[in-house]
């Protein structure tokens, strides 16, 4: 006897197959709402929204949510279909965060404004050089002091000492130019001479910092095998040349012709066909650098930087991608970082002592180095010190560096936690300290108008 299938059978079967999806959807709801709440609190505290999003991601991890509500934390972030654990969902969050970083680094690359470097090149170069050399050298020195204690700081296996030292130096050298730009806009200084100098120096700093990170990644991935490292470096350089001298001349004119104004606001937009082409090239660029061995984010950044310098194209790409990346992908990345960060790993006075040392070296190297270079370059003392404070902002870019270090296996859990706290601390101090240092300067009226200083 032939049994007729139930008309709702396909729906019921589909729902059954979605058992693994439903917990992930709950995770995403919690992550997005927590990030928005953190952004609101941050703005109320006169901090950039992204600072609140970073803190919200950290609080969702084992450091706070997992410690205060362990059962609820386990149910949301470690439950799995059929008792399989949270591996599938953690893999999904990992994939989401990595795709988000690829898109973010592309946007950072395409928004990279080399005109700042050209207009303020000499002073910016000296500030940037000091802001890389001083913290890099101090970071390596601190790393050598920490090496005998890595096992006590959570290292579960042998860590290559040279990779650890180079990575710590690189982590100390990074400046978060996207967050720095947002801070300058919020306090109304993006078009001032001081703001232009800071942005130009940060642009140089970031270019050097990403080059350092790529080099350290190649060294760590190649286990300091000269032949393998040389192949990776050559392949990366060849890819950069292809982006600059082949992709840019061919693709940029097509993008310029494809840009059109749409909607009531008249913002530039791209056709869906051209947007699809760019996204396909972006993912291919990420795949190529991942295949080379220096992480997918570098391919995204190189492609974006090769297409920079054309405002209409930059605005069109931003109109399509920025808001969704900021609202959806970045909170996932911050939570993913928070899940990998456990303040409980700093469970001893020694660990907290090392954490204080990391913060001190980071602040002294970047603030001191950049501030001194700005002062020697002829800037007034207050403005020179303000430059150092701004350049000390690390935030999102530091978190990217930390995750690269974790994936490479060159930093133990406690050290990664120290670097996360340093990234948050150096970003939190930037706006209030800069406003205080500029009291009595030509920038004071703007800061009072914007509410960052009392009249």
As a three-state string, the secondary structure of 42-104 is HHHCCCCHHHHHHHHHHHCCCCCHHHHCHHHHHHHHCCCHHHCCCHHHHHHHHHHHHHHHHHH
Q: What is the C-alpha to C-alpha distance for residues 192 and 21, in angstroms, rounded to an integer? A: 49
The answer to whether the CB of 423 falls within 8 A of the CB of 399 is yes
The Cα-based distances of 367 to 179, 202, 275, 389, 393 in angstroms read 16, 13, 41, 5, 9
The strand pairing partners of 267, in sequence order, are: 262
Task: Tally the residues of the chain.
Answer: 455
The residues, ordered by sequence, that sit 6+ positions from 56 with a Cβ below 8 Å of its Cβ are 34, 35, 37, 38, 39, 331, 334, 335
Q: What is the C-alpha to C-alpha distance for residues 317 and 303, in angstroms, rounded to an integer? A: 13
The answer to whether the CB of 213 falls within 8 A of the CB of 170 is yes
For 97, the token pair is: 């965060």
pLDDT tens sequence for the chain (455 residues): 444 555 544 544 445 567 778 888 999 999 999 999 999 998 888 787 888 898 999 999 998 999 999 999 988 887 543 334 445 556 778 888 889 889 988 988 887 666 655 666 678 888 989 999 999 999 999 999 999 988 888 787 788 888 899 999 999 998 887 778 778 877 878 778 888 788 888 877 877 887 788 888 888 776 667 777 788 878 888 998 999 999 999 999 999 988 886 655 567 888 889 999 999 999 999 999 889 877 788 888 889 989 988 888 888 998 899 889 989 998 999 998 898 888 988 888 999 999 999 999 999 999 999 999 999 988 888 889 999 999 999 888 888 889 888 888 888 889 999 999 999 999 989 888 988 888 888 888 888 887 778 76
The answer to whether the CB of 35 falls within 8 A of the CB of 57 is yes
User: pTM, whole model, 2 decimals?
Assistant: 0.81
CA angle at residue 355 from 349 to 359, to 5 degrees? 145
Other beta carbons within 10 Å of 406: 18
The answer to whether the CB of 27 falls within 8 A of the CB of 79 is no
Tell me the fold of 91-449: Na+/H+ antiporter like fold (1.20.1530)
In the chain, where are the structural domains located? 91-449
Q: In the 8-state DSSP scheme, what is residue 245?
A: I
Q: What is the C-alpha to C-alpha distance for residues 117 and 433, in angstroms, rounded to an integer? A: 25
């Amino acid at each position: 006897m032939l049994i007729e299938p139930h008309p709702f059978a396909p729906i019921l079967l589909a729902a059954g197959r979605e058992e693994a999806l439903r917990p992930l959807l709950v995770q995403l709801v919690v992550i997005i709402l927590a990030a928005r709440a953190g952004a609101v609190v941050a703005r109320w505290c006169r901090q950039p929204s992204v600072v609140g999003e970073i803190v919200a991601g950290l609080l969702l991890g084992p450091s706070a949510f997992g410690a205060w509500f362990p059962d609820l934390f386990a149910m949301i972030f470690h439950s799995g279909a059929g008792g399989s654990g949270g591996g599938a969902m953690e893999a999904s969050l990992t994939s989401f965060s990595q795709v988000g970083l690829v898109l973010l680094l592309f946007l950072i690359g395409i928004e990279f404004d080399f005109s700042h470097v050209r207009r303020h090149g000499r002073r910016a170069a000296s500030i940037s050089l000091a802001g890389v050399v001083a913290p890099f050298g101090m970071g390596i020195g601190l790393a050598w002091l920490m090496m005998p204690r890595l096992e006590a700081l959570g290292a579960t296996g042998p860590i290559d000492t040279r990779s650890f030292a180079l990575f710590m130096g690189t982590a100390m050298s990074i400046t978060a130019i996207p967050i720095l730009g947002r801070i300058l806009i919020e306090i109304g200084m993006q078009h001032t001479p001081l703001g232009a100098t800071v942005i130009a120096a940060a642009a140089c700093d970031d270019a050097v910092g990403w080059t350092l990170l790529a080099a350290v990644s190649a060294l760590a991935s190649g286990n300091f095998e000269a032949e393998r490292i040389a192949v990776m470096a050559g392949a990366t350089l060849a890819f950069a040349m292809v982006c600059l001298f082949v992709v840019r001349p061919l693709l940029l004119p097509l993008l310029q012709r494809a840009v059109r104004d749409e909607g009531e606001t008249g913002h530039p937009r791209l056709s869906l066909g051209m947007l699809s082409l760019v996204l396909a090239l972006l993912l291919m660029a990420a795949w190529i650098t991942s295949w080379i061995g220096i992480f997918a984010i570098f391919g995204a950044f190189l492609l974006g930087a090769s297409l920079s310098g054309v405002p209409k194209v930059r605005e069109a790409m931003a109109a399509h991608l920025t808001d969704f990346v900021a609202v959806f992908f970045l909170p996932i990345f911050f939570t993913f970082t928070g899940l990998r960060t456990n303040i409980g790993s700093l469970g001893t006075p020694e660990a907290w002592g090392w954490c204080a040392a990391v913060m001190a070296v980071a602040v002294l190297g970047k603030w001191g180095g950049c501030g001194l270079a700005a002062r020697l370059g002829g800037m007034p003392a207050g403005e020179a010190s303000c430059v150092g404070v701004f350049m000390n902002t690390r935030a999102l870019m530091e978190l990217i560096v930390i995750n690269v270090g974790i994936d490479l296996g060159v930093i133990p859990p406690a050290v990664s936690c120290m670097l996360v706290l340093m990234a948050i601390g150096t970003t939190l101090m930037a706006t209030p300290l800069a406003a205080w240092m500029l009291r009595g300067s030509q920038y004071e009226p703007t800061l009072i108008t914007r509410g960052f200083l009392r009249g």
